[in-house]
Structures are given as structure tokens and as C-alpha cells.
């Protein structure tokens, strides 16, 4: 599963941030045509956080600011509003907003990859047919074998997950409105069940099922936000509930990080869902005034621009980060601050160019006139809408994520809905905020909301500090608890799918050698897999496998062979061209949570043989 794995420039680890749109109306009480600046600000911050993480690889950002959960929640709220207004047509509208920018990105990506040498068919079941996922991304689209190819598809898991949640939303919203809290409880339990193998889907869409389960609860929390259910909960109960959820989620993340040394939220199934939900719930309820944002015109316009072109920024930032890294590599940049500044500046400069070249596709997808700068970004706007102080009927606001406008506040009366009239809960009424306001003094409500926000903020900073290993006198990993024992599975013992003339070692080896053994430069390896280049061996690693270890060598004189390892169609190792004269190389490749692993050999010479001596998976017990 590549759940929310967010790759940095240094490592192809799957990732985070989310495309959003820019046409959300203001909450009730705001000026016509205004916007919910509180949610705008969070969306913009989430996008900046994602780009920063991918460029610099700062793991601590994932626990300090779980951007993915927030963006899925905002998207879920907007989806509920669209379904209320247009029924099943909302699904088509979302796809119309999502797919054209992806098609433009994919046209450039696939063309570039083919021109630069992508000749090997994707290793997944459909072969070259996997390219269809660039048109309708129900799975992560494939890329080529080039060392940099991963940058073009590794973050697209978000697009795939969003697509599945959109397609499922009519059913999910009907179930939620019939059994709101039971549905939310099931959504919370689902990733935990996956984590402990209570539920195991497997198969071709296993990765997509895991990603959907991870963020389904946040998506449904967006439903609750749209329907006004969150505002109906008294402030004291809400704050205590969020605090309990935050402590549980943060404790789970801390326990995993303490035992493994890895605080990457995207690698902590279950804990990711709980911590993200606590963070999201606090953001959706705690709503301070933002009058100051209108006075900072440059920042105000930047926030609007990030929201207006978020799809383009999200799609293009990682390939451009790789380009930026190559461009600044020859520069004599010294010092931590200078290096960070130069890298971020280079990436954002290239992203600005991509926005200028391709951002207009978002306008076409939204059926607007294409423009270099979206409407409202390049000119001063009226005083922005601000939410009422928390606890006094604060408007829910409406997030925007890859889609059009949505109404703020509770859903319209059943008579005005175009879909799902039978499942609208009668308890959700327009007077809900007023009822909540009468049950507690405004000052008490604000105090509970501030306490809730402070609790989540303190826990977030604490997790970030632990991930940085900066807590005074405390390491980020338990010294008393030994690392979990590892189990080794030899590749030769596992079922394999072989392409070309690849084969296992001969069952009748040379006299004097053990069955299945090979000798590589004088050393005998008891197990091996030989690949006739060009060829590929595909295997499904056992659960919990983190690494693939092997010794690679060329099996004949006067030939050249290139070795590669691909995890879920993402190249995670490439040897370059090797000959018999090269020394055998020991490799140790990270393939964590991969559904399938391919051992690929390629050669321009006839009769070439690639030797994978003693290949084995190293897995947690």
C-alpha cells in the first residue's frame, strides 16, 4: 500500500497534497461572492506543506500537519453539497473537474517517457493496457524504467483515492444520513481492521482499497461538517471527544515511532486515521476571525492563487522538484539555511512556470474562460468573509476540492433536493447552531474550543519534536525494546510469474554444487534466479516484507546487462549497464508494503543472462 506515502527528492516514497478549486461561496453573513477564508488558508497551507515535504523530505511535517486527512475531509463536505444540489450528476461534474488537468499532465509525462526510452511493458496484469489508467485513474498509472520516472506517478495515489471516494459518495452519503455515527464508527474501524489483518482484500485493487479505507473516516467527517452535525454537538462534549481522539491517535503514532524509529504518519496505518481525524475535527470547529488577512494583500492573493491552481501545482511539483535538484546540483551552495532556501526557491519558480503553461486547463475543466491569473487573484477584493466567533453560530463554511461551489451551512430542505430525499436526517435543521448557542454561555464555548485547539497543537508539536529527535534527554526510539525479529523468504521458494525466457536455476546443477546453487566470482550461493535478458520475474512478497536483498552479476562474457527492481510499477533500484568485468554487487532495496515486486533485466546483446544470486525478502515477523 502506498497510503499517503509522500516522496521526497531523495526517495521515491509515495505522497500527499490535494487539488482544490477556488469558487467556494462565503459562509452565511459574508458578502456575496465572498469566500470562507479560514478553509482557504488551511488548503493553501496544506499544499505548501506537501511541496515542502517532497522537496526536503522532512518526516516530522507529516505528524505536525496531517494535510491529507484535512483535504479529504474538505472534499467530502463539498461532495455532500454537490449531491444535495444535483444528485448523481455531481459525480460527473467532479470527474470533469479532475480529469482534464490529469490528461494534460499525462500527455506530457507519457510522451517524455516514451521518447527517452520507455520500451518495457508495464509489469502489472494488463501490460501496455495499464496506460488506460492515465485516462481514468482507478489505479496508479504506470511509468517507464528510467531512474527518474517515479516522479511522474508516485503522488497520483491521491488522485486515485479521490476518484474512488467520489464514485462511492452517493452510496456513502445515503448510508451516513441513515446511520451517521454508526457509519463514522465503521469508517474508523476499517483501517484498523486492515492493519491487524481482520480484513484483507488483496488482488488487483488492494492498494486502492487500503488507501480508501485510510481516509474514508475523514471523508465522512466532511459529510458531518456539511450537514451541520459537528456544530450540533455541545462545545464541552466536542472538545473532550476531540481531545480523547487526539491523545489516542498521537499515542498510537508515538508507540510506533518509539519502537521503530519511523514517525512517518503515512506508514502508520490506523494511527494515521485517528490522528488525522482529531486534527481535522479541531480545524472544522475552531474558527477564529481572519480580518487581518485582508490587510495583507500579497498574502491574501497568494492564498487565492494556491487554491485556484492547486490541481496544477499538485500534479507538476514533484517532477519539477527532480528537475530543480539536477539544476542546482552543480551550484556551490553551503550551509543548511542556504541549501533549503535555494531548493525551495528553485522548485517554486519552476512550479510558477508550469502554472502559467498549464493552469488554464483548470479553467476549461470548470467551464471558465482560460486565463493566466484566475479571476479574483490579480485584483483587490472586497473585505473577505470571516466566520463568526466559535460557538456563536459559526458558519460551517464549505471546502473546495477539485470541484465547483457548495452551499455553506446545513443542507437545504428535502423539498429542494434533487437526490437522496429519503435519507436526509430530520435532526439536521437550520436552527442547530442557535440551539447549541443557547445551551452554554459564549465565553464557555470559546474556552472549550481554545482548549481543544491547544491540545491538538501541543500534541502535534510534541510528535514533530519526537520525529526530529530533539526532545531533551529522550531519543525517538526505545532503547530497552529490541527491534522486532526478521523473517527471510527466499525468492526461489515463492510462486513467480516469468516473462521472456527467464527461469529458475536448473534443477540439475553442475556436479559438486548444491541443488539450485550458482557460483559468482568464486563464491557459491545456494539459491538463485536466472533471468534471460530482456526478461522479468514477478513475485508477490509475503506480508510485512520491507527489503529485497540479492547479489547481482552478469552470467556470460562479452555481454552487458542492466538490472532493475520495481515495486508496484515504481522503479526503486537500477544498476546501470554491467558487464562480466564488473564486480558482483550486493543490493538491499526497500520494497515496503509493495503488492508485487519485479526483477527486471535488460540487454542489447543476444544471449545475455542476469544472475540474481540468493535473492530473498526480509520481513518483520
* Residue positions counted in the chain: 621
C-alpha cell at 616: 530473498
The enclosing H or E element of 490 equals strand 486-490
What number is the average pLDDT over the span 211-220? 95
Please give the radius of gyration of the chain, using alpha carbons only, rounded to the nearest integer: 26
Predicted pLDDT of residue 144? 85
- Spatial distance between the Cα atoms of 30 and 387, rounded to a whole number of angstroms: 8
Predicted pLDDT of residue 561? 87
Predicted pLDDT of residue 485? 66
- Spell 203-236 as b/e; 16+ CB within 10 A means b: eeebbbbbbbbbbbbbbbbbbbbbbbbbbbbbbb
What is the dihedral sign for C-alpha 269, 272, 278, 284?
negative
> Between residues 238 and 514, which one has the greater pLDDT?
238
Assess whether pLDDT exceeds 80 at residue 132: yes
Written as one string, the DSSP assignment of 2-50 is -TT----SS-----------S-PPPPTTSPTT---HHHHHHHHHHHHHH
Q: Which of 173-187, 289-303, 331-345, 376-390 tops mean pLDDT? A: 173-187
Confidence of residue 378 (pLDDT cuts 50, 70, 90): low
Report helix, strand or coil for 614: strand
Predicted pLDDT of residue 375? 64
The enclosing H or E element of 254 equals helix 235-260
> Between residues 556 and 210, which one has the greater pLDDT?
210
Q: Enumerate long-range contacts of 181-187, CB under 8 Å, 24 or more apart.
A: 183/220, 184/217, 184/220, 184/221, 184/224, 187/216, 187/217, 187/219, 187/220
Predicted pLDDT of residue 135? 96
Q: Where are the beta strands (DSSP E) in 568-608?
A: 570-579, 585-590, 597-602
> Between residues 223 and 554, which one has the greater pLDDT?
223
Predicted pLDDT of residue 11? 36
Beta partners for 571?
Answer: 566
Query: At a CB cut-off of 8 Å and minimum separation 6, what does 180 contact?
Result: 223, 224, 227, 229, 425
Backbone angles phi, psi at 143, to 5 degrees: -135, 180
Lowest model confidence (mean pLDDT) among 130-134, 294-298, 602-606: 602-606
> Between residues 613 and 188, which one has the greater pLDDT?
188
Residues 16, 54, 576, 531, Cα dihedral to 10°? -20
Assess whether pLDDT exceeds 70 at residue 200: yes
Q: DSSP letter at 394?
A: -
The pTM is what?
Answer: 0.68
Predicted pLDDT of residue 406? 37
Q: DSSP letter at 302?
A: H
Assess whether pLDDT exceeds 50 at residue 23: no
Paired sense of beta strands 496-499 and 518-520, if any: unpaired
Assess whether pLDDT exceeds 60 at residue 487: yes
Residue (of 571, 580, 569, 567) closest to 610 by Cα position: 580
- Spatial distance between the Cα atoms of 81 and 398, rounded to a whole number of angstroms: 8
Residue (of 265, 273, 342, 277) closest to 16 by Cα position: 265
Confidence of residue 9 (pLDDT cuts 50, 70, 90): very low
Predicted pLDDT of residue 123? 78
Task: Output the average pLDDT for the chain.
Answer: 78
Residue range 325-372, pLDDT digits in tens: 888 878 877 778 888 899 999 999 999 999 999 999 999 988 888 888
Cα–Cα distance list, 130 to 109, 180, 211 (Å): 14, 38, 19
Count of Cβ atoms closer than 10 Å to residue 510 Cβ? 9
Lowest model confidence (mean pLDDT) among 222-236, 275-289, 395-409, 554-568: 395-409
Predicted pLDDT of residue 64? 95
Quote the percentage of the chain above a pLDDT of 70. 77
- Cis-peptide into 500, omega within 30 deg: no
Cα–Cα distance list, 356 to 97, 302, 312, 359 (Å): 18, 15, 10, 6
Lowest model confidence (mean pLDDT) among 73-77, 404-408, 474-478: 404-408
Assess whether pLDDT exceeds 90 at residue 51: yes
Predicted pLDDT of residue 459? 95
Count of Cβ atoms closer than 10 Å to residue 258 Cβ? 16
Report angle CA 499, 501, 507 to the nearest 5 degrees: 110
Paired sense of beta strands 597-602 and 560-567, if any: antiparallel
> Between residues 332 and 280, which one has the greater pLDDT?
280
Assess whether pLDDT exceeds 90 at residue 247: yes
Assess whether pLDDT exceeds 90 at residue 194: no
Predicted pLDDT of residue 186? 95
- Spatial distance between the Cα atoms of 164 and 160, rounded to a whole number of angstroms: 6
Assess whether pLDDT exceeds 70 at residue 268: yes
Report angle CA 500, 502, 507 to the nearest 5 degrees: 145
Confidence of residue 31 (pLDDT cuts 50, 70, 90): very low
- Spatial distance between the Cα atoms of 210 and 3, rounded to a whole number of angstroms: 7
Q: Is 359 left (phi over 0), alpha (psi -120 to 50) or beta?
A: alpha
C-alpha cell at 47: 499544499
- Spatial distance between the Cα atoms of 199 and 617, rounded to a whole number of angstroms: 24
Amino acid at each position: 500500500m502506498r497510503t499517503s506515502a509522500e516522496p521526497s527528492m531523495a526517495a521515491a516514497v509515495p505522497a500527499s497534497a490535494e487539488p482544490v478549486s477556488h469558487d467556494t461561496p462565503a459562509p452565511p453573513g459574508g458578502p456575496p461572492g465572498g469566500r470562507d477564508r479560514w478553509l482557504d488558508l488551511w488548503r493553501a497551507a496544506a499544499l505548501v506543506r506537501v511541496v515542502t515535504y517532497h522537496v526536503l523530505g522532512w518526516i516530522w511535517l507529516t505528524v505536525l500537519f496531517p494535510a491529507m486527512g484535512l483535504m479529504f475531509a474538505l472534499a467530502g463536505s463539498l461532495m455532500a453539497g454537490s449531491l444535495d444540489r444535483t444528485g448523481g450528476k455531481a459525480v460527473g461534474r467532479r470527474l470533469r473537474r479532475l480529469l482534464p488537468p490529469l490528461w494534460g499532465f499525462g500527455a506530457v509525462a507519457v510522451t517524455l517517457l516514451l521518447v527517452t526510452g520507455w520500451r518495457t511493458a508495464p509489469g502489472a496484469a494488463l501490460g501496455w493496457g495499464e496506460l488506460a489508467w492515465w485516462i481514468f485513474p482507478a489505479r496508479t498509472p504506470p511509468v517507464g524504467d528510467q531512474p527518474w520516472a517515479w516522479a511522474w506517478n508516485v503522488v497520483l495515489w491521491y488522485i486515485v483515492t479521490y476518484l474512488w471516494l467520489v464514485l462511492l459518495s452517493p452510496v456513502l452519503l445515503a448510508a451516513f444520513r441513515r446511520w451517521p455515527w454508526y457509519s463514522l464508527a465503521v469508517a474508523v474501524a476499517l483501517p484498523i481492521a486492515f492493519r491487524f489483518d481482520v480484513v484483507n482484500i488483496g488482488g488487483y485493487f488492494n492498494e486502492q482499497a487500503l488507501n480508501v479505507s485510510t481516509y474514508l473516516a475523514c471523508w465522512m467527517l466532511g459529510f458531518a461538517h456539511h450537514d451541520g452535525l459537528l456544530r450540533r454537538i455541545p462545545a464541552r462534549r466536542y472538545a473532550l471527544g476531540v481531545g480523547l481522539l487526539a491523545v489516542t491517535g498521537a499515542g498510537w503514532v508515538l508507540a510506533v515511532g518509539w519502537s521503530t524509529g519511523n514517525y512517518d504518519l503515512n506508514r502508520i496505518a490506523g494511527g494515521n486515521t485517528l490522528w488525522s481525524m482529531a486534527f481535522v475535527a479541531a480545524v472544522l470547529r475552531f474558527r477564529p476571525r481572519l480580518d487581518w488577512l485582508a490587510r495583507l494583500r500579497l498574502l491574501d492573493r497568494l492564498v487565492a492563487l494556491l487554491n485556484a491552481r492547486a490541481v496544477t501545482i499538485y500534479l507538476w511539483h514533484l517532477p519539477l522538484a527532480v528537475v530543480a535538484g539536477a539544476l542546482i546540483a552543480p551550484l556551490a551552495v553551503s550551509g543548511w539555511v542556504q541549501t533549503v532556501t535555494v531548493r525551495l526557491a528553485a522548485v517554486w519558480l519552476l512550479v510558477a512556470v508550469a502554472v502559467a503553461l498549464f493552469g488554464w486547463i483548470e479553467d476549461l475543466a470548470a467551464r471558465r474562460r482560460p486565463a493566466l491569473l484566475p479571476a479574483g487573484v490579480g485584483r483587490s477584493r472586497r473585505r473577505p468573509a470571516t466566520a463568526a466567533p466559535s460557538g456563536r453560530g459559526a458558519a460551517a463554511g464549505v471546502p473546495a476540492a477539485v470541484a465547483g461551489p457548495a452551499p455553506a451551512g446545513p443542507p437545504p430542505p428535502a423539498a429542494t433536493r434533487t437526490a437522496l430525499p429519503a435519507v436526509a436526517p430530520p435532526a439536521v435543521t437550520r436552527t442547530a447552531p442557535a440551539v447549541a448557542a443557547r445551551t452554554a454561555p459564549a465565553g464557555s464555548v470559546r474556552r472549550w474550543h481554545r482548549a481543544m485547539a491547544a491540545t491538538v497543537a501541543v500534541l502535534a508539536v510534541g510528535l514533530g519534536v519526537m520525529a526530529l529527535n530533539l526532545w531533551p534527554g529522550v531519543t525517538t526510539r526505545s532503547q530497552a525494546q529490541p527491534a522486532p525479529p526478521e523473517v527471510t523468504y527466499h525468492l526461489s521458494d515463492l510462486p513467480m510469474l516469468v516473462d521472456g525466457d527467464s527461469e529458475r536455476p536448473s534443477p540439475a546443477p553442475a556436479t559438486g554444487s548444491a541443488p539450485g546453487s550458482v557460483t559468482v566470482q568464486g563464491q557459491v550461493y545456494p539459491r538463485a534466479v536466472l533471468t534471460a535478458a530482456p526478461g522479468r520475474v514477478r513475485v508477490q512478497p509475503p506480508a510485512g516484507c520491507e527489503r529485497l536483498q540479492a547479489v547481482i552479476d552478469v552470467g556470460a562474457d562479452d555481454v552487458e546487462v542492466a538490472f532493475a527492481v520495481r515495486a508496484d510499477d515504481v522503479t526503486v533500484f537500477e544498476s546501470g549497464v554491467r558487464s562480466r568485468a564488473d564486480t558482483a554487487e550486493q543490493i538491499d532495496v526497500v520494497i515496503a508494503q509493495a503488492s508485487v515486486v519485479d526483477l527486471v533485466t535488460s540487454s542489447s546483446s543476444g544471449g545475455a543472462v542476469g544472475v540474481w544470486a540468493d535473492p530473498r525478502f526480509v520481513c518483520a515477523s
